[in-house]
Structure 1
């Protein structure tokens, strides 16, 4: 359904929506059964954690409303916690989108709406009033519109290479903050710069008396493969992981393959990550280079169908991991050196698709709960700009800019939608709590 600008603020009809719990239970069917209660526990903590895990719910809601008809490559889950800093292959730290599990083509405003509504949901959790949260949602849309318009004035190549360097970010917003806040931001960036494979050893591994490094056991969040399976089953899984990595190696460019070949696999563990991703198969693999103190951690994460697939035409990639990787390379200003995809059989012998990336490479994110109203406003501007630059890289910027030209009502319409959707999200969260109390869904307390 194509919409006029006046319809942009319209949300789904609550009377005609699918049951959000039915949607979550349907997702659980293809996931690791023992981890589903962990996912439900994480989602049920607050309305914001529910929102983070409910991309499938919101996709169904967006698909039930009119849309612009202006298509671009979407992140698919562009909430404010899916932005952050990381190191580029050139060892420059930039700020960008950092989660692409749901990437697929779709109407451009779906990403804008998910991002703007996340600021309202998170702002309410921080204790901000309606005036402040509306302002934050409006800043997202206002910034997005501004930077889409700016991208049209750039050459195609300048638009492709545009990125937000963290030093530039500090220079731009540091003057708007008091000294203590600027110092806190700088400390956070320095902390992220040191999040690498060497630091991950102390966090994720144990070191034996003989210097042997292995993953520590912290079930169900981190479980060495030797504890999940034993005997012949462990050998079968080890062979499958090895084959998965050989397939991954075969798709790497020659120069990256030459680098990858300098590392040898040491250990494998299953790791629980995020909120919405909990229950998908995620393996972390420890390698070492020429020396035992030369580690590399790769994450081999299952890629299932995008939550957008049921609602819009999508690219038919033979591997869902390839869908994630190609979407990431298109939207992200600079991508992980080891980004790739593979497939393999799971513990039940069923084919699963995966994408591969480094587990940590200077990655860091904003602590949303610590932001003041003013800091949240600045962060909204930054995320709106970042999303605009991501969409502009796809070549859709002319169509999006034409649609938004003269549309002064765009920020207000997005803000109105965001407030209404945050109300809906709170009701969905309450529905989940009712489902837990009634025994309809199970949770697992990890405390």
Structure 2
């Protein structure tokens, strides 16, 4: 976390959740990733061996105001864009394009039936060659400890009774698995959970055609497009919630929202930078 402002931002989902908890929000809750920054998206193989693009981190997934995921994304575009030396014009365009992509995505999704919405996914077969070597590697399962979501611990968002019952009965690992199955278009066939007297865990496939994009290595055009793809992915995930139509009605065409979130993202990037500098000074 001390290596750069962008690395610090990626590691401070809890800090941001606490900041968001102290600010007004829409009150429209959706199933949320909880840590939807630009580095938490990537490629993976479906059970049918198709290369997919989607969210790839669900440790913090829970119910939260829809805009929290979008704010996490757009602030990461600003912080990551500045870390890679991009101009303000490029960064602003990337943020506005991302918000527009989210608005269009959530509007289109709500025009579909719940079944069609659930089976919507982003197939990136054109990129399959890039990860051909990965497909030759053996499948391994990884076990990872699961703790309470930052959206609950720091964001202070009460969870639906059904999800809380899952957590009470089977632990935080069960929460991660349940939320991933809601949010991700085609989930890992090895996904599972377990608990013992001391901790909760979830199990996932360790490596199967998995890959990610280093946004700092992208040219400006692809950087903008990538942010838009991430936003559309969040919209698809949020559209699985019954409140998705409320979200679509709330944001409309997204133009006013885009400008508001751009100003917010700039301000929050400055807050994150100040936190990073204070963190570095304390080492």
The TM tier, using the shorter chain, reads over 0.9
Aligned counterparts of 2:204 and 2:29: Cα–Cα separation in 1: 28
Query: Is the Cα–Cα contact under 8 Å of residues 331 and 394 in structure 1 kept in the other structure?
Result: no
- 3-state SS of the aligned residue for 1:118? helix
Selected match of 1:138 from 78, 92, 96: 96
SS in 2 for 1:89: coil
Query: Normalising by the residue count of structure 1, what TM-score does the alignment of the two structures yield?
Result: 0.60
Give the whole-Å Cα distance in 1 for the aligned partners of 2:265 and 2:18. Answer: 16
1:156 lines up with 2:8 in the alignment: no
Match 2:271 to one of 408, 416, 424: 424
Q: 1:407 offset after TM fit, Å?
A: 5.0
| SS of equivalent residue, structure 2 residue 208 | coil
Pair 1:86 & 2:44 matched: yes
- Give the 3-state SS of the residue equivalent to 1:165 in structure 2: coil
1:307 is aligned to 150
Partner of 1:401: 248
Task: List gaps (5 residues or longer) in structure 1.
Answer: 1-42, 171-185, 200-294, 346-350, 437-447
Contact 2:74 2:262 in 1 (8 A): yes
Rounded Cα–Cα distance in structure 1 between residues aligned with 2:248 and 2:20: 21
Of residues 11, 15, 25, the one that matches 1:67 is: 25
Say whether the 8 Å CA contact 1:85–1:192 is kept in structure 2.
no
Q: How far has the Cα of 1:357 moved from its partner?
A: 0.4
Matched, 1:190 2:129: yes
Choose the corresponding residue for 2:59, options 87, 101, 114.
101
The two structures have a TM-score, normalised by structure 2, of 0.93
Q: Equivalences for 1:331-346 in 2 at 5 Å?
A: 331-344=183-196
Rounded Cα–Cα distance in structure 1 between residues aligned with 2:130 and 2:269: 32
How far residue 338 of structure 1 moved from its aligned partner, in angstroms, is: 0.8
Give 1:337 deviation, angstroms.
Answer: 0.5
Retained in 2: the 8 A contact 1:83–1:98?
yes
Q: 1:326 aligns with which of 178, 186, 203?
A: 178
Structure having the higher helix fraction is: 2
Q: Deviations over 1:284-341 (max 9, x none)?
A: xxxxxxxxxxx54111000001111131002321300000000000000000011000
Q: CA deviation at 1:154?
A: 1.2
What's the CA shift for 1:193?
4.1
Confirm whether residue 359 of structure 1 aligns to residue 211 of structure 2.
no
RMSD over aligned Cα atoms: 1.4
Question: What CA deviation, in whole Å up to 9, does each residue of 1:208-231 have, x standing for no partner?
Answer: xxxxxxxxxxxxxxxxxxxxxxxx
- Contact map agreement 2:103 2:253 (CA 8 A) in 1: no
* C-alpha distance in 1 between matches for 2:139 and 2:262: 43
| CA distance in structure 2 between the partners assigned to 1:297 and 1:105 by the alignment | 30
Deviations 1:186-217 (A, max 9, x none): 4xx43434325x53xxxxxxxxxxxxxxxxxx
Larger Rg: 1
CA distance in 2, matches of 1:401, 1:321: 31
Deviation of the 1:138 alpha carbon: 1.4
Q: Using the alignment, how far apart are the partners of 2:228 and 2:272 within structure 1? A: 23
